Chains A and B, each alone.
Chain A
């Protein structure tokens, strides 16, 4: 479903992704962790080409990103993304936030898009917020709207970049619950997170990044129980204490 082959990326002189090889199968839930600045966000932002790469190949759902003939908006329509800072459209109601892309990209009618949106709002547990504006919601509610917005495009892949790190602790679970359900429904997901409870519960695989490289990968069981690399142990030691 997603394939990285020898991917390298630079920000000017800064080498942020180094020889990344990665394969994600349909229905797989992959958790990415690693210290700040290790390139986790950059890695997943390459998947929908929010960041271009300088060397290597990425193929997503059969579409090669490096090929200029690939219609990038079409690819993005198949890949949902959820950001740390929610990034909802502040001047639109929750309902319009969710229906906008289905109407403009998928050419759904307003009624059809509205129906899908209301179903999704019910699914993420805030059916009563359709008419509100983002700034009138709590952080956890905003992030659930952001998830609904991404799901409204009926994507094949969902990317999450630290979806709970901007949230107050009491709101983290309401968002994680939505993600857990999504994983159980068989969505292909790549999740950058330090929520190890989530990783243990639903991840099929965990990868650990450091300084632009994938240092270690494994099933959650072996990854947490006996990490092979010293750097992974040091990192896990830090986040599991907190």
Chain B
């Protein structure tokens, strides 16, 4: 505080605005919503990404094309546009029953899930494709030569190896998803950024509120990065990736 005073700032810090009264609840709820939104979207994005990423490498052109269209269509439009599209556009086109379901289960939240997972699914797809393509083709040949079907070879050999190779870029993409979930505030999802803005509006303590938001995102991201680091070590291929990994650093 004296440091800011030294700079000639006359700002009166009140960190307690973050936790007094119902505002402590706000922050906590914001964190939980951010986590729920990110995690749900992440699971769906991974499923979409793995499926379409794998399809982009199969030796059958129509499937490759289909997956490529998905990827290029969704990753080349800004996420914000997609969020508006899924929130304002799509529900109107849904059947009555689906609209009712949405209205009871939070249309903002599920539109944000749709936007985030489809957009990031397309980006994860690229990561997966690169991973699969870096698995030597001869391994696929060796597996089918033993009598495994192409599908089995993918499921048991190619994809598991690719997944291990892509942990670092996938971590990166997961962190992007978490950070991008803050855009959901634009369609009214009460996630972390939304809540910090709300605290700011009610207390006029912008510095405290935004500092809290910043630090919370930082802690969440560092937490995820360290979990993914453990995943990487846990699934490291003995003697192989360990060596490659060390050589890279």
The chain A residues found within 8 Å of chain B, CB to CB, are 48, 50, 73-74, 76-81, 83, 85, 87-91, 100-101, 104-106, 132-136, 146, 149-150, 153
Q: Which of B113-171 contact A (CB under 8 A)?
A: 136, 138-139, 141-149, 152, 156-157, 160-161, 164
Chain B's nearest CB lies how many Å from the CB of A43?
15
In the bound complex, do residue A105 and residue B148 qualify as a contact, i.e. CB atoms below 8 Å apart? yes
Q: Is the CB–CB distance between B141 and A87 below 8 Å?
A: yes
In the complex, A109→B147 CA distance in Å? 17
Contact status of A105 and B146, CB under 8 A, knowing A83-B138, A100-B156: yes
For B220-247 the 0/1 string (1 means CB < 8 A from A) is: 0000000000000001011110010000
Contact of A81 among B139, B145, B149, B235 (CB under 8 A): B145
A131 to chain B, nearest CB (A): 10
Contact B238 A136 (CB under 8 A): yes
Task: Give the shortest distance, in Å, between A15 (CB) and chain B (any CB).
Answer: 23
Whether A133 lies near B139 (C-beta < 8 A) is no
B140, closest chain A residue (CB): A87
| Contact among B142, B149, B152, B164 for A83, CB-based, below 8 A | B142
Closest 4 CB pairs of A and B: A135-B239, A77-B147, A87-B142, A101-B146
Docked Cα-Cα span, A106 to B157, in Å, equals 18
- Chain B interface category by residue count: 20 to 34
B145 touches which of A76, A85, A106 (Cβ 8 Å) = A76
Distance between Cα atoms of A168 and B141 in the complex (Å): 24
With known contacts A79-B145, A85-B138, A153-B147, A104–B152 Cβ distance under 8 A: yes
Determine the chain B residues whose CB is within 8 A of the CB of A90 once the complex forms: 161, 237, 240
With a CB–CB cut-off of 8 A, which chain A residues contact B164?
A: 91
Contact, CB under 8 Å: B142 / A81: yes
Between A and B, 10 residue pairs with Cβ closer than 8 Å are: A50-B144, A73-B147, A73-B148, A74-B147, A76-B145, A101-B146, A132-B238, A135-B237, A135-B239, A153-B146
Establish whether residues B238 and A133, one from each chain, have CB atoms under 8 Å apart when the complex forms: yes
**C-alpha spacing A2/B215, complex, angstroms:** 70
Assess A150 versus B161: contact at CB under 8 Å? Given A87-B139, A90-B240. Answer: no
> In the complex, what residues of B have CB within 8 A of residue A153's CB?
146-147
Instruction: Give the most central of A48, A81, A104, A149: most B CB within 10 Å.
Output: A104
A101 to chain B minimum Cβ distance, whole angstroms, is 4
Partner among A91, A132, A135, A149 whose Cβ is within 8 Å of the Cβ of B146: A149
Max chain B Cβ within 10 angstroms of own Cβ: one of A83, A90, A105: A90
Distance of A202 Cα from B142 Cα, bound (Å): 26
Contact between chains at A89 and B148 (CB < 8 Å):
no
Inter-chain contact A150/B138, CB cutoff 8 Å = no
CB pair B141 A73 closer than 8 Å: no
B133 CB, nearest partner CB in chain A, Å: 16
Query: Once the chains are docked, how many angstroms separate the CA of A79 from the CA of B142?
Result: 12
Q: A85-B138, A135-B243 given. 7 additional CB < 8 A pairs?
A: A79-B145, A83-B142, A87-B138, A87-B141, A132-B238, A136-B239, A150-B146
Question: Which residue on chain A has the smallest CB distance to residue B164?
Answer: A91
CA–CA, A153 and B148, complex, Å: 11
Q: In the assembly, what is the distance between CA of A129 and CA of B119, in Å?
A: 46
Chain A residues with CB below 8 A from B143, complex form: 89, 101
B239 touches A73 (CB 8 A): no
Q: List the B residue with the shortest CB-CB distance to A146.
A: B142
In the complex, the chain A residue whose C-beta lies closest to that of B236 is A91
Tell which of A91, A133, A136 touches B160, judged by Cβ atoms closer than 8 Å: A91
Which chain A residue lies CB-closest to B241?
A90
